[in-house]
Structure 1
Amino acid sequence: MPEKTAVTSYGSSRNKRGLHVMLVLMLLIIIVFIISVNTGYIRLTPLDLLKTMFGKGTAKQELILFDFRLPRIVISILIGAGLAVSGAVMQGVFRNALADPGILGINAGAGLMVMLLISFYPTTSAAPVFLLPIVAFVGAACTAALIYSLAYKRHQGISPIRLLLTGVAVAAGMSAAMIVLTLRLDPDKYQFVATWLAGSIWGTSWKFVLSLLPWIVILLPYVIYKARVLNVLNLGEQTATGLGAAVTKEQFRLLAAAVGLAAASVAVSGGIGFVGLIGPHLARRLVGPKHQLMLPASALLGALLVITADTIGRWILQPSEIPTGIVVAVIGAPYFLYLLARTKS
Structure 2
Amino acid sequence: MIHPAIIKKQRLILVALLALIVLTIMASMGMGYSKLSYDRLIPTLFGHGTFKEEFVLFSVRLPRIIITLLAGMALALSGAILQGITRNDLADPGIVGINSGAGVAIAVFFLFLPIQAGSFIYLLPLAAFIGALLTVSLIYVLAYNRHIGLQPVRLVLTGVGFSMALSGVMIVLISSAEREKVDFISKWLAGNIWGTDWPFVWAILPWLIILIPFTLYKANRLNLLALHEPVAIGVGVSIDKERLVLLFTSVALAASAVSVTGGIAFIGLMAPHIAKALVGPRNQLFIPIAILIGGWFLLLADTIGRQAGEGIPAGIMVALIGGPYFMYLLLKK
Question: Which TM-score band (shorter chain)?
Answer: over 0.9
Is 1:99 matched with 2:91? yes
Is 1:158 matched with 2:170? no
Picking from 159, 167, 174, the partner of 2:159 is 167
- Unpaired stretches in structure 1, ≥5 consecutive residues: 1-7
Q: Percent identity?
A: 47
Cα deviation per residue 1:109-134 (whole Å; 9 max; x = unaligned)?
Answer: 01111111110368996771100111
What is the CA-CA distance between 1:47 and the residue it aligns to? Answer: 2.0
Is 1:326 matched with 2:316? yes
Is 1:258 matched with 2:245? no
Is 1:241 matched with 2:241? no
In the TM superposition, 1:130-145 aligns within 5 A as 130-145=122-137
**Which is further off, 45-54 or 200-209?**
45-54
Q: Which amino acid aligns with 1:70?
A: L
Q: Which amino acid aligns with 2:266?
A: F
Q: Please, what TM-score do these two structures have when normalized by structure 2? A: 0.97
Q: Which residue of 2 aligns with 1:72?
A: 64
Please give the alpha-carbon distance, in whole angstroms, between the structure 2 residues aligned to 1:335 and 1:311. Answer: 21
**Which is further off, 297-306 or 35-44?**
35-44
Please give the alpha-carbon distance, in whole angstroms, between the structure 2 residues aligned to 1:121 and 1:134. Answer: 14
Q: Secondary structure in 2 aligned to 1:128?
A: helix
Aligned residues: CA RMSD: 1.5
Please give the alpha-carbon distance, in whole angstroms, between the structure 2 residues aligned to 1:303 and 1:71. Answer: 14
8 Å contact kept, 1:117–1:127 = no
What is the CA-CA distance between 1:250 and the residue it aligns to? Answer: 1.2
What is the CA-CA distance between 1:86 and the residue it aligns to? Answer: 0.3
8 Å contact kept, 2:102–2:255 = yes
What is the CA-CA distance between 1:157 and the residue it aligns to? Answer: 2.9
8 Å contact kept, 1:112–1:139 = yes
Instruction: Give the total of aligned pairs.
Output: 333
Q: Secondary structure in 2 aligned to 1:40?
A: coil
Q: Secondary structure in 2 aligned to 1:179?
A: helix
Please give the alpha-carbon distance, in whole angstroms, between the structure 2 residues aligned to 1:103 and 1:221. Answer: 25
8 Å contact kept, 1:124–1:189 = no
Please give the alpha-carbon distance, in whole angstroms, between the structure 2 residues aligned to 1:191 and 1:143. Answer: 24
8 Å contact kept, 2:264–2:318 = yes
Q: Which residue of 1 aligns with 2:110?
A: 118
Q: Which residue of 2 aligns with 1:337?
A: 327
8 Å contact kept, 1:118–1:127 = no
Please give the alpha-carbon distance, in whole angstroms, between the structure 2 residues aligned to 1:194 and 1:132. Answer: 17
Please give the alpha-carbon distance, in whole angstroms, between the structure 2 residues aligned to 1:136 and 1:338. Answer: 30
Please give the alpha-carbon distance, in whole angstroms, between the structure 1 residues aligned to 2:115 and 2:45. Answer: 33
8 Å contact kept, 1:103–1:167 = yes
Q: From the superposition, tell whether residues 39 and 124 of structure 1 become closer, same or farther in structure 2 (CA, over 3 Å).
A: farther
Picking from 202, 220, 245, the partner of 2:212 is 220
In the TM superposition, 1:27-46 aligns within 5 A as 27-46=19-38
Q: Secondary structure in 1 aligned to 2:145?
A: coil
8 Å contact kept, 2:124–2:259 = yes
- Unpaired stretches in structure 2, ≥5 consecutive residues: none
Q: Secondary structure in 2 aligned to 1:203?
A: coil
Is 1:47 matched with 2:39? yes
What is the CA-CA distance between 1:160 and the residue it aligns to? Answer: 3.0
Q: Please, what TM-score do these two structures have when normalized by structure 1? A: 0.93
In the TM superposition, 1:276-295 aligns within 5 A as 276-295=268-287
